[in-house]
Structure 1
Amino acid sequence: MNGLLMPLQYAFMQRGMIAAVLVGLLCAVIGCYVVLRSMAFLGDALAHAILPGVAIAYLVNGNLLVGALIAAILVALAIGFFTHGGTVREDTAIGILFSAALALGVALISSIRSYAVDLSHIIFGNVLGVGPNDLLLIAALTLIVLLAVVLLFRPFFVISFDPVMARTLRLPVGLLSNLLLVLLALTIVVSMQTVGIGLVAAMLVTPGATAYLLTRRLAPMMAIAAGIGVVSSIVGLYLSYYLNIVSGSAIVLVATVFFLLAFFFAPQKGWAWQRLHALRR
């Protein structure tokens, strides 16, 4: 018990724990749509596309999270614009904008002499560096995204599983798809300081993919993924504290362990269950 409570005596650890839990919950919920819609590449692209916003905010002494937020939303909307009407395939638009944003970000960051020290936490995450204002912004964005998911659960469900039916029902498919892109962008920005842009795609995909091995219904999938995301964040943060390793890496590794357990031992679908069933035949 002392080992669990001792780290929480520090204010920075308390803020870090709250931020990690919020990020684990949010990434897991949005990650279910990422898994179902095969948007893993998009999540990774948006994560790296925030670099220009971070660099510009740093150059003008602005808030890095706000800069990242603006860049992520602009890139998400640009992807929706170029793919509207099928003029350009989504994967093509993602590849072009991802490369352009990444190149611009690297060009801007390379002009900053101290970028290796000052911006390294953006790449690798630094949950223990979350300040009071950062925590408020993270909490606000988390609330906005989760509220949108709850209010638009059925429309998002329809466009994720059957876009043709969505058009038959006269749902604004383009608008809903763009909104989902914006929510994904917000989630990435929220996760930036906790796991870093290099690992945020893993937190978007891994809990959702793990839950997908355990259920095929969206609501239970989100609940299971949320539990995995929260537990992974808490356990990973404790591991980073006691083992003195990067928090983002620890959180992702814990989530990966849950995925491996589900992959091998999930009832009916796990590798071990399938091998056992094959032997019995």
Structure 2
Amino acid sequence: MRWPSPGRSPRSWGRPPTASTTGPPPWTRSDVDSLTLTDFYAAWELFGTPALTGAIIGLVLGLLGVYVVLRRLVFLSAAVSQAASLGVALSFFAAISFGAEHALVPSPTVGALLVTFIATLVVAGRRGRSTAWRDAALGLVFLVGAAGTLALGSRIVQELADIDSLLFGSAVAVLPEDFEVVAWVFGAVLLVHVLWWRGFAAVSFDLPGALVRRLPVGFLELLLFATLALVISVGTRIVGALPVFALSVLPAVVGARLATNLPMALGASAAVGAVAGYYGYLLAFLHDLPVGASQTLVVVAFVLLGEAVRRVPAPPLRLAPGIPGPRAGQVRATSRVTARFAVAVSAYVLLRPVLAGVAQVADAPALVDPALVTVALALGVAFAALGAVGAVVVLRRPRLGLGFVVALGWVLAAGLLELGEELVRPVVLAAGLLAVAAAFREASHRIATAGSRR
């Protein structure tokens, strides 16, 4: 049996073409519409590699995307992705023209890296140049990449499926050797950015300070763009341009909007990217969707949920004056502890689809006991209700309770949600619990700030 054609969902798989594969597939077409996470993890050998590949790519792209978004280079990912697609098309065209075994014919991955590196040099250039020049360079790279890919695609009809997969995303099947490339390349880039994040932050957001401290600004700038080009080109070669563009921009939007400092933004963006890459594959499996589009839709949902959490109503500072006596300290401490506990519960709910696989492998069904979701739902309702009552009765600030009322409605809506029992509902419930945590955190901040003004 051959591998599935690009753009198809994981459901359309048969089994990988190995000589040792015998017996029926994990399910039949008659029950394909009722697949669950149990079916997914039962066929982990088949689906595990592409799902983990999406998580790794999402994690690193989410981290690097913070620099892309905050430096207003959002179009960089799209332009470099198109350049990588052109590099792959050139490799296929050279293989047809000169023979695949010719010494001068690079592999598709090497071709993508070479063209991407050239495009990065064009875009990066000298930092002192105007923003208009850089925007023009981005447009030039994008148009040359797109037009060149389409033009060469008409000359290599037999490889057109590979070009289509790069343009529209087809992370349905990831070969073991491609997974190893992703693990090593993205792992090395992640290590570089974990070790040198202060330098990258300095040259990106405090260039005068970096020059005063005599940091190697040129080297750090080149290394930052080189790592961006590397992960974008390799990611485009393996999972497609659409998910790479989405995962390099949208997780950073969530992190930048919710975090209060750069380290938190980097960590939050990386986490959102990893979860979106993994859950996008799960969503494609459960609902028969193309993988690239599914990963993009999941990260878009995270952006919308993040904006909703960020906009939990909070009153103006004048409506929350300090509380006399030791009560203010007690209320603030209780709010902070409750907020952290709500975050921990939301993390468990959000990771339930992953824990389902751990429970199946370790034979520990208690990890995903349905009763735990009921407990999490009850805790969310209790936290929100107690926060609203405390704001009205203890603090005597009715408007402060509005945020808790909104969060309570969100949690109740997640409890009533019947769509996507195994994936959509946990994500919505986790977002509702984060809204509760945000309301408690806001209450703690208002009390502390008002107390300091007294």
Short-chain TM bin: 0.7 to 0.9
Measure the CA separation in 2 of the matches of 1:73 and 1:21: 24
What is the aligned partner in structure 2 of residue 4 from structure 1?
37
Measure the CA separation in 2 of the matches of 1:220 and 1:15: 29
Change beyond 3 A, Cα 1:28–1:84: closer
What is the aligned partner in structure 1 of residue 70 from structure 2?
36
Name structure 2 gaps, 5 residues minimum. Answer: 1-34, 101-105, 320-397, 401-454
Measure the CA separation in 1 of the matches of 2:210 and 2:251: 27
Name structure 1 gaps, 5 residues minimum. Answer: none
After superposing the two structures, state which structure 1 stretch, 231-240 or 89-98, moved more: 89-98
What are the Cα deviations for residues 39-93 of structure 1, in whole angstroms up to 9, with x where unaligned?
A: 1011211111112211122231453223212221221123233x35538832222
What are the Cα deviations for residues 97-145 of structure 1, in whole angstroms up to 9, with x where unaligned?
A: 3323333333222211234423221112222321011111111110121
Match of 1:209 among 233, 253, 264: 253
Q: CA deviation at 1:23?
A: 0.8
Structure ID, larger Rg: 2
After superposition, residues 1-281 of structure 1 pair within 5 angstroms as 3-8=36-41, 9-59=43-93, 60=95, 61=100, 63-81=107-125, 83=126, 86=129, 89-193=133-237, 195-266=239-310, 270=311, 272-273=312-313
Q: CA deviation at 1:250?
A: 0.7
Higher relative contact order (Cα pairs below 8 Å, separated by 6+ residues): 1
Change beyond 3 A, Cα 1:193–1:54: closer
Measure the CA separation in 1 of the matches of 2:222 and 2:260: 25
Q: CA deviation at 1:152?
A: 1.6
Normalized against structure 1, the TM-score is what? 0.88
Amino acid of the residue matched to residue 36 of structure 2? G
Measure the CA separation in 1 of the matches of 2:146 and 2:290: 23
Corresponding residue pairs, total = 274
Change beyond 3 A, Cα 1:167–1:92: farther
Measure the CA separation in 2 of the matches of 1:19 and 1:193: 12
Q: CA deviation at 1:190?
A: 3.3
Whether the aligned pair in 2 keeps the contact of 1:194 and 1:247 (CA below 8 Å) is no
Q: CA deviation at 1:26?
A: 0.8
Measure the CA separation in 2 of the matches of 1:234 and 1:5: 16
Whether the aligned pair in 2 keeps the contact of 1:124 and 1:195 (CA below 8 Å) is no
Change beyond 3 A, Cα 1:155–1:38: same
Greater helix content: 1
Measure the CA separation in 1 of the matches of 2:399 and 2:228: 44
What are the Cα deviations for residues 9-60 of structure 1, in whole angstroms up to 9, with x where unaligned?
A: 2533111112011111111111111111111011211111112211122231
Measure the CA separation in 2 of the matches of 1:172 and 1:110: 45
Identity %: 30
Whether the aligned pair in 2 keeps the contact of 1:130 and 1:193 (CA below 8 Å) is no
Change beyond 3 A, Cα 1:98–1:117: closer
Measure the CA separation in 1 of the matches of 2:156 and 2:225: 30
